[in-house]
Amino acid sequence: MELVTPEIGLVFWTSVSFFILFIILAKFAWKPIMGAISERERSIEDALLKAEAAKDEMARLTNENDALLKQARAERDLILKEAKVLKDQIVADAKDNAQKEGARMIELARIEINNLKAIAMADVKNQVASLSLEIAEKVLRKQFEDSSKQDALVADLLKEVKL
């Protein structure tokens, strides 16, 4: 039983050495250990605060991004609308110009046709006059082969002429 029950001297010296060890640990070890623990707590707290700030910043940036994206879409829609209006206006102007140019070309063609028609009519008149003169000349030659007929025609013409 001696092994199970310690003697009073052993208990005393064990207690004394424990208190000495406790004082040494309290003086030299507890402060650095507690300082390290509080430093660790502070660094964890700072990290949590920074993470929260980063989360808030990320949310703000996401909101800004969304706002910029909406603005860009609105600008794109506006640009597309303006481009469509401009395209429609250009097409309408091109149609108007084409119609005006077509009408001008038709009028020029009409004028040219009238000019060519007048030239052709003048040419036909000249040919008819030429043919008439040739026919009249041939008729008169046949008629004037006889000199008595020529004398009679000259006499008639002299009677008609009044001086």
Q: What is the mean pLDDT of each run of 10 residues along the chain (163 residues)?
A: 74 94 88 89 96 95 95 96 96 94 94 94 87 76 71 75 60
Residue 2 counted as domain residue: no
Cα–Cα–Cα angle for 77, 81, 87, rounded to 5 degrees: 140
Global model pTM greater than 0.85: no
Rounded-to-integer distance, Cα 134 and Cα 144, Å: 15
Contacts of 51 (CB under 8 A, 6+ apart): none
Please report the pLDDT score of residue 59 as a whole number: 95
Q: State which residues form the domain around 128.
A: 8-160
3, part of any domain:
no
What pLDDT is stored for residue 162 in this prediction? 62
- Which residue, chain included where needed, has tokens 């077509």? 102
Q: Is residue 21 part of a domain?
A: yes
Let me know: does 153 contact 144? Beta carbons within 8 Å: yes
Per the structure, the count of domains in the chain is 1
